Chains A and B, each alone.
Chain A
Amino acid sequence: MENSLKQRRGLQVWFSVMIGLIMIPAMFGLSLGVTSVYIQILVKILEWSTLRIQRGHRDRPTLPVPAPLPNGLIQREGGSMEHEMGELRRYRTQSISRGEFALSDSFYFYRKGLESIVDDQVTQRFSSEELVSWNLLTRTNHNFHYISLRLTVIWGLGVIIRYCVLFPLRITLAIIGLSWLVIGTSLVGFLPNRRVKNWLSELVHLMCYRICARGLSATIQYHNKNNKPQKGGICVANHTSPIDIVILANDGCYAMVGQSHSGLMGVIQRSMVRSCPHVWFERSEMRDRHAVTSRLRAHVAAKSNLPILIFPEGTCINNTSVMMFKKGSFEIGGTIYPVAIKYDPRFGDAFWNSAKYNMVSYLLRMMTSWAIVVNVWYLPPMTRQEGEDATKFANRVKSAIAHQGGLLDMAWDGSLKRDKVKEEFKEHQQKMYSSMVVGKKARTSQEPHTESTKR
C-alpha cells in the first residue's frame, strides 16, 4: 500500500517537473531544444522505415497494393475545347469557324467526363493527403503492408510513446494554456490604463498560445519576419485546421474574427474580448454581408487595433492546394498581409476533415500524432490596385500564397465540400460549345474552371 502511494507521488512530482520545464521556457518564448532533438530523431527513424518499406516492396514484387502516385492516376491530354473539336472534326470539309455540328463533337465531352470520374482535382482536396511513404501512424495506413518484425516493433513503441507519454503531457499543457488564457485576459480586463493594458494583454495572449503550441509539440519556422502584419491591417492565410490560429498567434497578436459560440468556446471568446478587441459575430449577423464588412472596416480604421486574421477560403482544405478566396475580405480596404502556411505531413496530418471528425476527436488525433511541423511565410503586403475589382485582387493574393507555399492554385470554391457546383459553370461550357455550332470563333479559348497552375 505504502509502496504504491510513494510510486504515485513520485510520478506526480516527475510529471509536474516535466510540465514546469516545458511551460516556463515556453511562456518566455525560449526553447530548451528538446523538441528539435525529438524531431531529428523522428526524421532518422522515418527515413529508416521508408528504406525498409521500399526494400520490402522490392523483395516481394507481387505486393497487391502499389505506392500512391503523386501526379494522379491519368495524364490529361488535349488543349482547349476549340482545339479538340477542331481535331475531331478534321474529317469534315468544314472548319470550326464555319460552324455546324459533327457526331464526333460529343466525344470531347465523353472523354472529359470519364477523365474526371477516374481522377478529379477537387474531391481529393477534401480528404487527407496520401503519403508517399508510411509514417508509422495507424491512421495513415492505407496502402501499407506488413513488412518486417522490426518495423512492427518500432510502430508498437511509437504507439506506447504517443499515447502513454506524450498524450497526457500534451493534454495537461493544453488545459493549462487555455485556463491561463481565460484567467489572464479576465484579469487584464480590469485594468483601466490603455498602454499597460495592451502590453499585458499581448503578453498574456502570446504566453497562452505558446503553451498551447507546446501542447501539440509544434515546431514552427517563420520566414520573412520583416513582413509581419502590422496594426490596422488584415492578415489572410490558407486554411487547413483550427490549429492555424495557434500557429500564427505564436509570433504576433491578432484580432480574431468569427462566430460567437456558446459553451466553453463562448467563455474563452468572452474573456478574450475583455483584454483587447476581437470581432465576434452572432450567427444572424453573419448572413448580412454589409454588416460584417462595415464592422470589420471600423475595426481596421482604428489604426491602433490589432491586425485582423481572416481565412478567405471559408473552410478547411487539405494543405495541398489553395481554393477560391471569397471576395468579402478583400472589399474591406486597408492593407492585406498574406501568409502561407504549410504543414509537413510526415509528422502528423493537420487537416481537419469536418465531415468525418468533430472538433474534439480532431484535437485528440492532433495530440497523438508525432508532432506538428509547420513553415510559415510572411509575404509582402498587398493593396488593391486602381481598377482592380475585389475578385481579381483576391485571386492575385491567392496566387502569391500558393506560389510561396508550394501549393496548387485552384479556382474551385472550397464550399464544394458540402454544396453542389453552381449551374452557371455548366452554362459556361454550353456557351463555349454553342459558339462553335453557330460558327463564331470563341472569344477565349481558356476554360477558367479547369485552369490550375502549379509552381
Chain B
Amino acid sequence: MGSRASSLLREEEIEEIKKETGFSHSQITRLYSRFTSLDKGENGTLGREDFQRIPELAINPLGDRIINAFFPEGEDQVNFRGFMRTLAHFRPIEDNEKNKDPTASEPLNSRINKLLFAFQLYDLDRDDKISRDELLQVLRMMVLRMMVGVNISDEQLGSIADRTIQEADQNGDNSISFNEFIKVLEKVDVEQKMSIRFLH
C-alpha cells in the first residue's frame, strides 16, 4: 500500500529542488504528479511531443517558443529538475524573499530573472541582443497575416519592428540589449503578469 506517485522522488531530491527553485514540499510533489501524467513514455523525461499534446498549449501562438524554453541547448528531453527550473521563473515573488541573505544568488523568480526569461524567448541565438529579425520572427508567430478585412503585410510588421527597436534602443546599435529591455519595461508589473498563483 505504498504511495506510487512519490516513490520515484526521493526526499533529498525534493530538498534540492526546494532550495533551487523555492517551491514548497507539497507543490513539488503535485508538480511531480503532473510531470508523470504528461510523461506518456514513462521514461522520466518529457519530449516536445509530450508538451504538444496539451491542447491549450498547442493553440497558443507562442507555444513552440515556450516549449523550447524547457529544453537546454540542443537537447530533446527534459527531466524533472529541468522542468521545475523553468517553472520556477513563474513562481510569485514573496515579500519575505526580499530580506533574504544578500550573498545568496538571485532567486529564479526575481523580477530580473523573469525579464531575462522573456528576453531569452525573443533572443533565439543567445547573443544577448534582440535583433530586428528576431523581433520580426516573434511578431510573425503572434499575428494572422491573411485575415479578411485587415491586411498585415510583412512590410507593416517590419515597420512595427523598426519602431519598437527605435523606442527601446539607446546605444544606437539597432537592436535591444537586455538592459534596454529592462528599461523599456520598467513600469510593467512583471511580478504579477509573469507569475502563476499556485494553490497550496
- Residue ranges of A at the interface with B (Cβ–Cβ < 8 Å): 64-66, 69, 71-75, 77, 84, 87-88, 90-91, 100-124, 127, 138, 141-146, 152, 155, 412, 416, 420-421, 425-431, 433-435, 437-438, 440, 449-450
Residues of A within 8 A of B139 (CB): 101
Cross-chain contact B6 with A64 (CB below 8 angstroms): yes
| Nearest CB in chain B: distance from A160 CB, A | 16
User: In the complex, which of the residues B152, B184, B187 contacts A437, with contact meaning CB atoms closer than 8 Å?
Assistant: B152
| Nearest CB in chain A: distance from B34 CB, A | 6
- Give the CA-CA distance A122 to B197 in the complex, in Å: 20
Cross-chain contact A434 with B118 (CB below 8 angstroms): no
Cross-chain contact A111 with B11 (CB below 8 angstroms): no
Interface members, chain B 174-191 (any A CB < 8 Å): 176, 181, 184-190
Given A71-B199, A74-B198, A106-B122, A421 contacting B188 (CB threshold 8 A):
no
Chain A proximity mask over B77-92: 1 for CB below 8 Å, otherwise 0 = 0000000000100100
Not counting A66-B26, A113-B60, a sample of 4 additional A-B residue pairs whose C-beta atoms are within 8 angstroms of each other reads A106-B62, A109-B142, A117-B66, A433-B142
B121: Cβ under 8 A from any A Cβ: yes
- Give the CA-CA distance A452 to B168 in the complex, in Å: 39
Cross-chain contact A104 with B3 (CB below 8 angstroms): no
Residues of A within 8 A of B142 (CB): 105-106, 109, 430, 433
User: In the complex, which of the residues B4, B147, B190, B199 contacts A72, with contact meaning CB atoms closer than 8 Å?
Assistant: B199
Count of chain B residues near A, Cβ 8 A:
66
User: In the complex, which of the residues B26, B90, B187, B198 contacts A91, with contact meaning CB atoms closer than 8 Å?
Assistant: B187
User: In the complex, which of the residues A87, A88, A110, A420 contacts B62, with contact meaning CB atoms closer than 8 Å?
Assistant: A110
Q: Which residue of A lies closest to B195 (CB)?
A: A111
Cross-chain contact B3 with A434 (CB below 8 angstroms): no
Cross-chain contact A107 with B1 (CB below 8 angstroms): no
Cross-chain contact A434 with B147 (CB below 8 angstroms): yes
Chain A proximity mask over B44-84: 1 for CB below 8 Å, otherwise 0 = 00000001111111111111001000000000000000000
Given A118-B34, A421-B59, A65 contacting B194 (CB threshold 8 A):
no
- Give the CA-CA distance A345 to B78 in the complex, in Å: 34
